[in-house]
Amino acid sequence: MASREAAPAEAPPRVPSPAPAAAAAAVVAPAAPSKYSSRVVLRTVLERSDGGLGLVGEKLVVGGWVKSSREEKKEAPAAPAPAPPVQDKVVGAEHKDVSCVELFQTRIPIFRSIMKVFGGGGHPTRQRIEAAGAKPGPVPSPPPPSIALLQISDGSCVATLLVEVDSSLASPSLLLPTGTCLLVEGTLTKPETQGKHTVELKAENILHIGMVDQDSYILSKKRLPLDSLRNSLQFRPRTTTVASVMRIRNALTFATHLFFHDNGFLNVQVPIITSTDDEGSSQKFHLVVLPGLTDSKRDQTVVKGSDGVSVEAIKAAAREKSKLVEELKRTDSNREALVAALQDLKKTDGLASQLEAQEKLKRGTPMNAEEMKFFEDFFPNKTYLTASGRLHLESYACALGQVYSFGPRFQADRSESHKEAAEMWMVEVEIAFSELEDVMKCAENFFKFSCKWIMDNCAEDLQFVAKRIDKASIDRLQSILSKPSVKITYREAVEALKKAADNKEMKIEEGGALTAAHLSYLADEIHKSPVIVYNYPKEVKPFYVRQNDDGETVAAFDMVLPKVGRLLTGSQSEERIDLLSKRMKDRGVPQEQYEWYLDLRRHGTVKHSGFSVGFDLMVLFATGLTDVRDVIPFPRSFGKADC
């Protein structure tokens, strides 16, 4: 469960004051503002070895969002001693300040009016007497002075900074709501009382307040589950949980590029739009061009067209619009209305034609050239959003030696799997002059390097993850670094699964594909560690995987992790054109679409291998979360693409 409230890491132990000589020798670097803004990033203060104590006394500008807050009333100053009450005197008694005439004026209003006419109003004295004898209503008193104590975060670290704002600077009602954005100038001090904060900022100037409507701001609630936060993707990064996950994801991204850079790989961007079907999957996103439907309302109609709008209804609407056009032509009184009606009619006709073509495509009915243009007017052949870039990388590996790509891949999967989404990021690698053992070693080294990187650079976030999400997350990362992965062949995996015959889900026949449940059982229950399964039957792997000498298996492998399942898949590619052509024919792969791929075997062929890593699943493993949609910044899945 994710909480809106920050859960800062435990405060570091307080550093004792240094001895005078040591203090004189110590040099404390001042807190430098960000290179691209005037504020100091909180991480540079709160993640110092001394928790920021060395910066006490410095004036800083900090910015962030309120994670939690409270208001404390200040002790009111001692009130002056009250003056003795003024008592009304009876007529005739001694009265030093008020004459008998003035007193008479206050008691008889008509006499007072006469005196005003003759210039004897005695107005100041009358006011004085009325004040002495009147009993006015209650006068509203100003609100008592108070202090707003705000824990703010700027997203740079888990910990929050305590900011103390006096009510004389800004009304607490503006500052206290969760989510309020502040830019504050003040002096860093040591808190007067021992607590979880090592330092705090006493505000001296408020530079910016970004207020929040508490009624509509979703994070105003105390705790929200992660699945609820998926409905507010624009705000969920402000939660401590999602912020930590994104910082870990960022570290893994950097580690990916660093590993391949340090090992002599070149980064190559593969196309997102492709005409090849690398994996032979039917769950692909087909690209079509919608004719003349650029208006946003028309786009919404097209989306709903195949499900809720019939072709007949659209055609009926077109007939009505056609009648309107004819009427406008006869009257010839409003040219602007006629032009608008003609444009509307054209769009409606286009929508009807497009929906009619869709219906024919669903039924398998042949379409004429006019109808086909709605689907093939941009590219001459069928195109898809890419599901894999391995084949394209081979072109560059066969020229540059070692290449990798890092980017989004797409799969039109309608299932509700927690490990799949329509758009996921992949790391893909291709190495020339390498065989299966080489690429398996590279894959394992890359994964270990990534785990060590976040262990070394995301300690605070991993501690938070272990505390709030999964207690075993750090232990799993450490186990990756402490021992090698278990390597078993496909046949050995099948034998191990057959021994678990009491579990019906684990039943498998020799030659059958290993399901996600099979692979997870191997890693979670049998070996309790990462497992690499290799040498699969050729029927269960893509056409381009190299055939082994036994003629039955191919040089392919999967890396499976506890809790996550299959993280990584790789293979040695078939460099022999005769065997590759035969595999394509046996699998029904249209050879004419892959002539460019076969050319790599005709001209300067070389042994080469590669692998693909589910980057989002690697983040899932590191954080201990269970749903991949919670580690993707803007997840896209079946029926969900809100922003």
Residue 565 backbone dihedrals phi, psi, to 5 degrees = 95, -145
Whole-number pLDDT of residue 2: 41
d(CA 61, CA 182): 10
Is the separation of the CB atoms in 41 and 34 below 8 Å? yes
Angstrom distance (rounded) from CA 11 to CA 241: 18
Task: Work out the number of other CB atoms within 10 angstroms of the CB of residue 268.
Answer: 18
Q: Are the beta carbons of 145 and 74 closer than 8 angstroms?
A: yes
Please tell me the CATH superfamily of domain 2-10+29-71+146-224, with its number. Nucleic acid-binding proteins (2.40.50.140)
Residue 85 — very low, low, confident or very high, per pLDDT cuts 50/70/90?
low
Contact 339, 346 (CB under 8 A): no
Taking the C-alpha atoms of residue 248 and residue 630, their distance in angstroms, rounded to an integer, is 13
Structure tokens at 610: 């590669």
Q: Note the pLDDT tens digit of each residue in 139-158.
A: 666 778 999 999 999 999 99
pLDDT higher than threshold 50 for residue 305: no
Backbone region of residue 632 per phi and psi (left: phi > 0; alpha: psi in -120 to 50; beta: other values): beta
Report the alpha-carbon distance of residue 24 to residue 21 in Å, rounded.
5
17-69 per-position pLDDT tens digit: 444 433 433 445 677 888 899 899 999 999 999 999 999 999 999 999 999 99
> Does 74 score more than 60 pLDDT?
yes
Q: Is the pLDDT of residue 84 over 70?
A: no
Instruction: Please tell me the predicted confidence (pLDDT) of residue 639.
Output: 81
CB 572 within 8 A of CB 611: no
Percentage of residues in the chain with pLDDT exceeding 90?
54
Q: Quote the CA–CA distance of 640 and 630 in Å, as a whole number.
A: 13
**In this structure, is the dihedral angle defined by the CA atoms of residues 48, 54, 60 and 62, taken in order, positive or negative?**
positive
- Packing angle between helix 369-376 and helix 335-363, nearest 10 degrees? 90
Report whether pLDDT(103) > 60. no
Give per-residue pLDDT as tens, 556-591: 999 999 989 999 999 999 999 999 999 999 988 888
Mean pLDDT of the chain: 82
Mean pLDDT of 389-408: 96
Element (H, E) at 65: strand 59-73
- Predicted local distance difference test score (pLDDT) of residue 335: 65
Q: Which amino acid is at 13?
A: P
Name which residue leads in pLDDT, 317 or 548.
Answer: 548
- Eight-class DSSP state of 642: -
Is the pLDDT at 427 greater than 70? The verdict is yes
User: What is the average pLDDT across 214-225?
Assistant: 85
Phi-psi region of 624 (alpha: psi -120 to 50; beta: other; left: phi over 0): left
The fold adopted by the segment(s) 243-281+383-630 is: BirA Bifunctional Protein; domain 2 (3.30.930)
**What pLDDT score does 8 carry?**
37
Sign of CA dihedral 535, 537, 538, 541: negative
DSSP state of 234: T
Task: Compute the distance between CA of residue 226 and CA of residue 630 in angstroms, rounded to an integer.
Answer: 7
Strand, coil or helix: what is 396?
Answer: helix
Q: How many CB atoms lie within 10 A of CB 503?
A: 11
Contact present, 65 and 152 (Cβ < 8 Å): yes
CB atoms within 10 A of CB 498: 13
Report the candidate in 56, 62, 268 with the shortest Cα–Cα distance to residue 152: 62
Residue 333: pLDDT band with limits 50, 70, 90: low
pLDDT of residue 484: 87
Cβ-Cβ contacts under 8 Å for 386 (sequence gap 6 or more): 270, 271, 272, 273, 274, 278, 409, 410
Q: How many CB atoms lie within 10 A of CB 244?
A: 24
Task: Answer yes or no: is pLDDT of 77 > 90.
Answer: no
Residue 532: per-residue pLDDT: 97
Residue 337, C-beta contacts closer than 8 angstroms, at least 6 positions apart: 328
CA angle 326, 327, 333 (to 5 degrees): 115
Query: Is the model's pLDDT at 7 over the cut of 70?
Result: no
The SS3 call for residue 292 is coil
**Cα gap 572→430, rounded to integer Å:** 9
The dihedral formed by the CA atoms of 16, 21, 22 and 25, expressed in degrees to the nearest 10? 140
Query: Which one, of 612, 572, 642, lies nearest residue 446 by Cα?
Result: 612
pLDDT at res. 474:
95
Strands 402-410 and 266-267: parallel
- Select the highest-mean-pLDDT range: 323-332, 367-376, 538-547: 538-547
Mean pLDDT across the stretch 482-498?
Answer: 92
Burial of 209 from C-beta contacts in 10 A (0-12 / 13-18 / 19+): middle
In percent, the amount of the chain with pLDDT more than 70 equals 75
Residues paired with residue 147 on neighbouring β-strands, in sequence order: 72, 166
- The more confident residue out of 253 and 288 is 253
Dihedral sign computed on CA atoms, order 343, 344, 347, 349:
negative
The pTM for the full model equals 0.76
What gap in Å lies between CA 15 and CA 27, rounded to an integer? 15
Q: How far apart are CA 123 and CA 116, in angstroms?
A: 9
C-alpha 53/C-alpha 198 separation (Å) is: 7
The pLDDT score that the predictor gives to residue 238 is 94
Distance between CA 431 and CA 393 in Å, rounded? 9
What pLDDT does residue 93 have? 44
- Read out DSSP for 157-220? SS--EEEEEETTTS-HHHH-STT-EEEEEEEEE--SS-SS-S-EEEEEEEEEEE---TTT-GGG
Amino acid found at 447: F
Name the residue among 96, 15, 88 with its Cα closest to residue 51.
15
Residue 207 has pLDDT above 90, yes or no: yes
Every domain of the chain and the residues it spans: 2-10+29-71+146-224, 100-132, 243-281+383-630, 296-376
